[in-house]
Amino acid sequence: MENSDISKNLLKGFKGTYNELICQDDFSTDGHPLPNRQDQQQVSLGMLSALLLVVDIGLGVQYSKVSEKYGPLYQNLTHISSELEHLRATHSNMIHAKEEALTVLQKELQKVNKTSGQLGSAKHTGMELQRQVESLQGQKMALQSSVNEFVESCGRCLPGWKLLNSVCYYFPLSNSIPLKTWDRSRDSCIKKGADLAIINSEEKQEFINKAIQALRYSSGSWHLTGFWIGLKEEEDKEGTWAWLDGTKLTQGYWADGEPNDDMNNEDCAAIYSKNHPKASWDAMKTWNDAPCRYALKWICEMKAKAA
């Protein structure tokens, strides 16, 4: 029989007994049961008690069956709930730990960024200082050489000028100084209170050759290493060379084959630091005639101060 049927039958019996006991009109007008019904009521109450006992036992049996069936499930459920709780707590701890780790990481990243910024600026400063040191070293060397020249010339020449006997010479050797035509070169010397150099002795030729050696091995072709000197063909007198002081050329230090008045257009003289293409190096054969409008370096000279 189904549990619901048992319950229905029990309820029916209970209702019947109850009706018998309570609902029958066996009371006197003052509400007291009539004496001839008292025994019957006691029997009925006994039966009701027995019935309740049976119901109680039935429920107990049902309860034990339900407990038997669902008890392990309940235990599992309790176990799973506690594990779930434990997992939730672990998860929350992990999230908390992750957030803390993220905060630490962000702080470390900020430090790294700051340090790398400082490193970059220190590197920049270091490079800038290195550049300044190199530039100062260059300036120091230039000053040192000026001082040396000044000492060598016993204070008789301007800084950067070289003394030979009583004459000071200027050689614009630096690459930063632009080349000039013969006329412009002369103007540049005149602005310094000097004029283009006159090389009228072997001693001067040797001295000047030595001074311009810095350009001897420079790149570029031979004819770009020339320096204008104060020697020019006289006006309308082809083949007659004269110095700027008006004296005629007596001894020239021409390269082999020069002066050749190439293209009938070479009226100014220059001294060269590189080999003439037609000859091997000879310090006494370094002149060439070239077009006066050609751009070259130049050599100035001026009288030295009295000793």
Least distance in angstroms from the C-beta of 251 to ligand 2F8: 20
Q: Which of 259, 209, 211, 203 is nearest to 231 (CA)?
A: 259
Task: Assess 145 for contact with Ca ion (CB under 5 A).
Answer: no
**Separation of first and last alpha carbons in the chain:** 149
Q: Which is nearer to ligand 2F8, 168 or 268 (CB)?
A: 268
Task: Assess 233 for contact with Ca ion (CB under 5 A).
Answer: no
Q: Which is nearer to ligand 2F8, 266 or 301 (CB)?
A: 266
Q: Which is nearer to Ca ion, 167 or 296 (CB)?
A: 296
Among 9, 62, 218, 260, binds Ca ion (CB under 5 A): 260
Taking the CB of residue 161, how many other CB atoms lie within 10 A of it? Answer: 22
Partner in contact with 223, chosen from Ca ion, ligand 2F8, none, beta carbon below 5 to 8 Å by kind = ligand 2F8
Residue number with the shortest CB distance to ligand 2F8? 223
Contacts of 60 (CB under 8 A, 6+ apart): none
Q: Which is nearer to ligand 2F8, 165 or 221 (CB)?
A: 221
Task: Assess 262 for contact with Ca ion (CB under 5 A).
Answer: yes
As to burial, measured by CB atoms within 10 angstroms (0-12 exposed, 13-18 middle, 19+ buried), residue 290 is buried
Q: Which is nearer to ligand 2F8, 188 or 288 (CB)?
A: 288
Task: Assess 152 for contact with Ca ion (CB under 5 A).
Answer: no
Q: Which of 131, 157, 134, 130 is nearest to 146 (CA)?
A: 157
- By the criterion CB under 6 A, which residues form the site for ligand 2F8? 223, 258, 260, 262, 266, 277, 288, 290-291, 294
Q: Quick one: tokens of 84?
A: 């779930």
Among 289, 294, 299, 304, binds Ca ion (CB under 5 A): 289
Least distance in angstroms from the C-beta of 232 to ligand 2F8: 15
> Pairing between strand 241-243 and 226-233?
antiparallel
Task: Assess 128 for contact with Ca ion (CB under 5 A).
Answer: no
Q: Which of 258, 171, 254 is nearest to 216 (CA)?
A: 171
Q: Which is nearer to Ca ion, 139 or 260 (CB)?
A: 260
Q: Which of 195, 222, 200 is nearest to 286 (CA)?
A: 222
Q: Quick one: tokens of 112?
A: 């790294």
For 141, the 3-state DSSP assignment is helix
Q: For residues 256 and 71, give the distance between their C-alpha atoms in angstroms, rounded to a whole number.
A: 127
The crossing angle, in degrees rounded to 10, of helices 3-18 and 38-152 is 130
Which one of 26-34, 227-235, 238-246, 261-269 is the stretch in contact with Ca ion (CB under 5 A)? 261-269
- Binding residues with Ca ion: total (CB under 5 A): 6
Q: Which is nearer to ligand 2F8, 44 or 209 (CB)?
A: 209
Residues that bind Ca ion (CB under 5 A): 258, 260, 262, 266, 288-289
